[in-house]
């Protein structure tokens, strides 16, 4: 079985859920003796490609121009494929240039969410991506959906898609389960992980935390991700939280340490397709407090405390459920550990492998 995974997401993401998913899938498929994996990536800023696939240590935060990366990787892909027989093409995103080159190959497409359809106003390129996504969906032999909620959303926006070709396959959480200590952390902190703009709803978390910080002065907020932009910095200053919030960029092993030592992990997003950080938190014995929307109840089940993400007061009340109640906090830690057994990258890889084998 010859499988092609293209370069797309590894050129666009330095880190993130989609590149983590495809890295995990590629790593799993490479372990199969019956599978030949082709992943033509000549240049990438992605941490998984640099550290694991290309076996290079990421020593800096060099930024490449996306168009340059895409052009180089396109040429590299076409050269590599000139004399290769590909059985299955599984694109890592929705650029359709290879769809024109692939004639008799099985096309497997992963749909992570319907975020462009639900919040098109947040993305200047939404119309273009939706068009490319639709082309992939209509040509696909199989569509992999990362949750039943995402499958429901696919059929809501695209009722003409045959539901029989949509397969729900849950993702995993941690890739590396080791820990690297981070020093000088606050004694007691809430953890936030990921991007913060738009539907990620970070502003409502700031409003909620500003109220909590008055009553619980020992409590801090640690944010993993990019540096705060000017608007975020001004908002934090106006809420008098400058001394209460810490921003960190870290490796996965350091992230594990942050989860393991956090009072809780809070996920205020308005919408997600699966929510990998939920599983990461569960695996690191970190209680999860999250939105009651989209996929969250499906993935976290009874192992999380829920709030209305549109209401800062609801976020406050959900977090206060655990504050001052160590027994309940421990109960949710145990529930999370148990729930995490439902998800792993090995299960994800096995399920996708079974789907591939249907066409062999």
From the list 19, 62, 68, 72, the residue with the least C-alpha distance to 42 is 72
Dist CA 201 CA 267 (whole Å): 9
102 domain residue, yes or no: yes
Residue 227 lies in a domain: yes
Report pLDDT digits (tens) over 120-177. 999 999 999 999 999 999 999 999 999 999 999 999 999 999 999 999 999 999 888 8
Same domain, 306 and 230: yes
Provide the domain count of the chain: 2
Confidence of residue 254 (pLDDT cuts 50, 70, 90): very high
Q: Quote the mean pLDDT of the chain.
A: 89
Give residue for tokens 């008055």.
214
Whether residues 168 and 195 fall in one domain: no
| Residue 224: closest CA among 198, 181, 190 | 190
| Per-residue model confidence (pLDDT) at position 301 | 97
CB 202 within 8 A of CB 232: yes
Residue 53 near residue 23, CB atoms below 8 Å: yes
Does 6 lie in the same domain as 155? yes
Token reading at 323: 């504050």
User: Are 194 and 217 in a shared domain?
Assistant: yes
More confident residue, 73 or 259: 259
Q: Between 284 and 26, name the one with better pLDDT.
A: 284
Whether residue 49 sits in one domain with residue 12? yes
Assess if residue 181 is contained within a domain.
Answer: no
First-to-last C-alpha distance (Å) of the chain = 7
Does residue 42 carry a pLDDT above 80?
no
Q: Is residue 302 in a domain?
A: yes
Shared domain check, 205 and 146: no
Give yes or no for a contact between 44 and 7, defined as CB atoms under 8 angstroms apart: yes
Does residue 109 sit in helix, strand or coil? strand
Q: Which domain holds residue 335?
A: 188-340
With beta carbons less than 8 A apart as the criterion, state whether 43 and 73 touch: yes
Average pLDDT score over residue span 297-311 = 97
Same domain for 218 and 101, yes or no, is: no
179 domain residue, yes or no? no
* Tokens read off for 105: 């190959």
- pLDDT tens per residue, range 101-118: 777 789 999 999 999 999
For residue 329, pLDDT beyond 90: yes
Report the pLDDT value the prediction gives residue 7, as an integer from 0 to 100.
Answer: 80
**Residue-level pLDDT at 6:** 84
Least confident of 65-74, 84-93, 291-300, 325-334: 65-74
195 and 159 in a common domain: no
Q: What is the mean pLDDT of residues 250-274?
A: 95
Length, in residues, of the chain = 360
- How would residue 224 be classed by pLDDT, with cut points 50, 70 and 90? very high
Is residue 177 in a domain?
Answer: no
**Residue 71 within any structural domain of the chain:** yes
pLDDT given for residue 54 in this prediction: 46
Are 194 and 167 in the same domain?
no
Please check whether residues 23 and 168 belong to one and the same domain. Answer: yes
Task: From 89, 116, 109, select the one nearest 100 (Cα to Cα).
Answer: 89
Query: What pLDDT, on a 0 to 100 scale, did the predictor assign at position 172?
Result: 95
SS3 letters across 28-44:
HHHCCCCCEEECCCCCC
Q: Give the domain CATH number at 251.
A: 3.40.50.2000
* SS3 call for 324: coil
User: Quick one: pLDDT at residue 77?
Assistant: 72
Is 54 or 225 the better-scoring residue by pLDDT?
Answer: 225
Residue 351 to residue 9: CA distance in whole angstroms? 21
282 and 193 in a single domain? The answer is yes
For the record, the structure tokens of 16 come out as 């993130």
Can you give the pLDDT at residue 12?
Answer: 75
Share of the chain above pLDDT 90, in %: 72
pLDDT at position 61: 37
b/e 228-257 (16+ beta carbons within 10 angstroms → b) = beeebeebbeebebeebbebeeebbebbbb
| Residue with more model confidence, 28 or 68 | 28
Using one digit for the tens of pLDDT, what is the confidence trace for 55-99?
Answer: 443 333 334 455 666 777 777 777 766 667 889 999 999 988 888
Query: Is residue 15 a part of any domain in this protein?
Result: yes
Among 52-56, 110-114, 211-215, 238-242, where is mean pLDDT lowest?
Answer: 52-56
């Amino acid at each position: 079985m010859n499988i092609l995974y293209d370069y797309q997401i590894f050129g666009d993401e330095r880190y993130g859920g989609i590149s983590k998913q495809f890295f995990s899938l590629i790593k799993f498929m490479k372990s199969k003796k019956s599978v030949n994996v082709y992943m033509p990536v000549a240049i990438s800023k992605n941490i998984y490609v640099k550290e694991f696939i290309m076996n290079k240590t990421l020593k800096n935060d060099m930024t490449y121009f996306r168009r340059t990366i895409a052009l180089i990787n396109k040429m590299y892909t076409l050269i590599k494929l000139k004399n290769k027989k590909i059985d299955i093409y599984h694109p890592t995103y929705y650029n359709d240039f290879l769809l024109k080159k692939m004639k008799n190959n099985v096309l497997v497409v992963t749909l992570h969410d319907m975020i462009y359809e639900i919040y098109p106003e947040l993305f200047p390129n939404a119309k273009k991506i939706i068009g490319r996504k639709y082309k992939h969906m209509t040509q696909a032999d199989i569509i992999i959906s990362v949750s039943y909620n995402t499958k429901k959303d696919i059929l809501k926006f695209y009722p003409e898609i045959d539901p029989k070709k949509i397969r729900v396959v849950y993702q995993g959480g941690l890739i590396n389960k080791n820990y690297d200590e981070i020093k000088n952390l606050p004694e007691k902190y809430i953890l936030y992980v990921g991007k913060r703009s738009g539907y990620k709803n970070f502003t409502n978390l700031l409003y909620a935390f500003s109220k909590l910080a008055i009553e619980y002065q020992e409590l801090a907020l640690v944010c993993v991700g990019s540096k705060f932009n000017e608007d975020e910095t001004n908002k934090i200053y106006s809420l008098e939280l400058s001394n209460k919030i810490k921003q960190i960029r870290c490796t996965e092993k350091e992230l594990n340490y942050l989860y393991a030592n956090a009072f809780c992990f809070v996920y205020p997003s308005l919408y997600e397709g699966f929510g990998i950080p939920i599983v990461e938190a569960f695996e690191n014995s970190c209680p999860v407090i999250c939105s009651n929307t989209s996929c969250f109840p499906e993935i976290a089940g009874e192992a999380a405390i829920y709030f209305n993400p549109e209401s800062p007061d609801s976020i406050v009340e959900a977090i206060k459920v655990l504050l001052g109640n160590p027994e309940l906090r421990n109960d949710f830690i145990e529930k999370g550990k148990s729930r995490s057994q439902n998800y792993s990258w090995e299960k994800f890889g096995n399920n996708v492998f079974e789907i591939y084998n249907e066409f062999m």
